[in-house]
Amino acid sequence: MKHIYLNLKRFDVPVEYGGVNRLAPVADWGRAVVAGTQDGLAKYDPAAVEFVQFLPEAHLLPALAARTPDSPVQLGSQGVYRVDTAPGGNFGALTTNRPASVVRAMGCTATLIGHCEERSDKKGILAEAGCADTAAVDRILNAEVRCARGAGLKVLFCIGETAEEQPEWQAVLGRQLEVGLGGLTPEERAGVVIGYEPVWSIGPGRTPADRPYIEKIARFVKARTGGLDVVYGGGLKADNAAMLASIPEIDGGLIALTRFSGDIGFYPAEYLEIIRLYLGK
């Protein structure tokens, strides 16, 4: 199966506040995302490709309400907390945090864990505390993955190496996979897809990862995980869709912005066009 993910980050912030939201007023933004995409995705075979959209938590309920009964759009959170609620256990004393149980209860089917922006945030917090243990972030993310799978959520688990880590990419990615997926049963692992983010190549002025490099990483990840599906998380875009589609080891991609110049932002019609280019129809 192919997996097309959409990470909408904080694309809900209006332009007048420095954001890129030209789609809809904030209160209507989640609904507008789903309403603008679900009809265009209906032509694809749900047995061959899944479409998951990760929204900021405030927009999940309006987005879920906008789904038609046969909508191909699945919705997910942009993360879960490393501790969950449980009968006879923690009942919700988790101020500011997002337990996997409530994500599932809202009607979501998936969550995003380990995105490079989340990894960077956790790494910065640990550095402020004087922690130099490079595997500490991976252990925290592992707790999140286990909570998510325990709640029945599918997981897009992102891994990736920075420019400083690139010379030792095998050790870095190997550790992220080994620690991040540690303790999962075979059944729990079956609900995980790996998203590869070449952090060293993402951003203005940087050289994007090329086909041979992406192939090399995808083969490495599949070998280390026993064949888990791998999607390209460095950005599925109009200009790389055909190239990524031609790589047998890549099982999909992660879309974010759809327009990178002029009125940059996320636009449903452009999102659908990227998918058409990737899937070839």
Spacing of C-alpha 43 from chain mean position: 23
| DSSP structure class, residue 157 | E
User: Among residues 59, 115, 144, 161, which one is catalytic?
Assistant: 115
List the one residue out of 235, 166, 175, 173 whose CA is nearest residue 203: 235
List the one residue out of 248, 260, 255 whose CA is nearest residue 234: 255
List the one residue out of 10, 119, 2 whose CA is nearest residue 52: 2
Would you say 31 and 65 are in contact if contact means Cβ atoms under 8 Å apart? Answer: yes
SS3 content of the chain, % helix, strand, coil (to 5): 40, 15, 45
Catalytic residue check, 59? no
Structure tokens at 147: 């909570």
Secondary structure of residue 250 in the 3-state scheme: coil
| DSSP structure class, residue 208 | P
CA distance 220 to 218: 5
CA distance 112 to 77: 6
User: Among residues 50, 118, 161, 197, which one is catalytic?
Assistant: 197
Specify the amino acid at residue 90.
N
CA distance 138 to 4: 25
Catalytic residue check, 188? no
Active site residues: 115, 197
